[in-house]
């Protein structure tokens, strides 16, 4: 479905139901639909009964695409990577954050990512609970808007021989506690990272808040460049819950 298709559907909906929804930003249609815990409930049941879901498409005037369920799929947007009850728990300090900074805490992705970067949550994970061992991890940038996707945070890792290490990228998708990690978004990030950088490996991760506790970090299996174009599913490689001491407002 194109951006024009969605904008026209919004106008028709307004005319039919007397609503006043704006048709000026159809690019956010799928993003808004997938936000929160009710994405599957908000998806039209007539489409779900035919076992079709949707994935966001960007560039070239595209908005989203209807795709069939995968084998065994029972709802349009399953939360495949919920916080595991038996995930290992590691304490992590937050006392280094100034009190004035903590006082501005908010429940949004920007604050989530900023806090995780300040406290080196990702670096801690790859030091103590990684599936893909690193020699070094360094934060590069947050909020990277690319043509086909947005990467909430990007890290550079070094692996292999210490004297001649290989570079890998770590892409990070951040979500609030109520929002599920969407595989298609993370896959888009991986493919975009390969398009933008001369690396042979990308390690995708998800970072999700656990209210009043801290961060749940999901590390997915590393992706090789040759496999990226046909990538359609992620596999969990390692996860851990990083408990903040003391608690941080908004997390």
Identify the pLDDT of residue 57.
86
Q: Which residues of the chain have pLDDT under 50?
A: none
Q: Using alpha carbons, select from 98, 107, 53, 97 the residue that is nearest to residue 75.
A: 53
Report the interhelical angle of 109-118 vs 121-128 (nearest 10°). 60
Identify the pLDDT of residue 147.
77
Identify the pLDDT of residue 15.
95
Write out pLDDT tens, residues 200-209: 999 999 999 9
Q: How many helices (H) and strands (E) does the chain have?
A: 8, 10
Identify the pLDDT of residue 60.
85
Cα–Cα distance, 18 to 14 (Å, whole number): 5
DSSP lists the bridge partners of residue 208 as 175, 216
Tokens of 37: 């815990």
Write out pLDDT tens, residues 48-60: 999 999 988 888 8
Most distant pair of Cα atoms in the chain: their distance: 67
Write out pLDDT tens, residues 66-89: 999 999 999 999 888 999 999 999
Give the position of tokens 């997915």. 220
Domains of the chain and CATH, by start: 3-68 (no CATH), 89-245 (3.40.1350.10)
Backbone angles phi, psi at 52, to 5 degrees: -125, 140
């Amino acid at each position: 479905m194109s951006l024009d298709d969605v904008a026209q559907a919004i106008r028709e909906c307004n005319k039919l139901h007397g609503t006043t929804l704006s048709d000026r930003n159809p690019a956010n249609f799928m993003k808004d639909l997938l936000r929160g815990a009710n994405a599957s409930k908000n998806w039209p049941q007539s489409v779900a009964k035919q076992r079709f879901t949707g994935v966001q498409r960007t560039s070239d005037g595209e908005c989203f695409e209807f795709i069939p369920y995968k084998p065994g799929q029972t709802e349009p947007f399953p939360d495949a990577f919920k916080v595991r009850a038996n995930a290992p728990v590691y304490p992590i300090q937050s006392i280094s954050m100034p009190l004035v900074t903590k006082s501005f805490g908010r429940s949004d992705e920007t604050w989530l990512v900023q806090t995780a970067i300040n406290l080196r949550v990702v670096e801690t994970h790859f030091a103590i609970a990684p599936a893909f061992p690193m020699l070094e991890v360094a934060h590069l940038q947050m909020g990277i808007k690319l043509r086909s996707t947005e990467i909430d945070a990007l890290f550079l890792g070094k692996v292999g021989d210490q004297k001649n290490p290989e570079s890998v990228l770590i892409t990070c998708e951040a979500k609030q506690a109520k929002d599920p990690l969407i595989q298609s978004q993370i896959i888009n990030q991986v493919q975009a990272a390969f398009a933008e950088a001369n690396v042979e490996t990308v390690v995708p991760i998800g970072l999700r808040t656990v209210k009043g506790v801290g961060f749940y970090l999901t590390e997915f299996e590393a992706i090789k460049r040759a496999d990226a174009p046909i990538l359609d599913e992620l596999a969990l490689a390692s996860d851990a819950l990083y408990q903040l001491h003391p608690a941080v407002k908004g997390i």
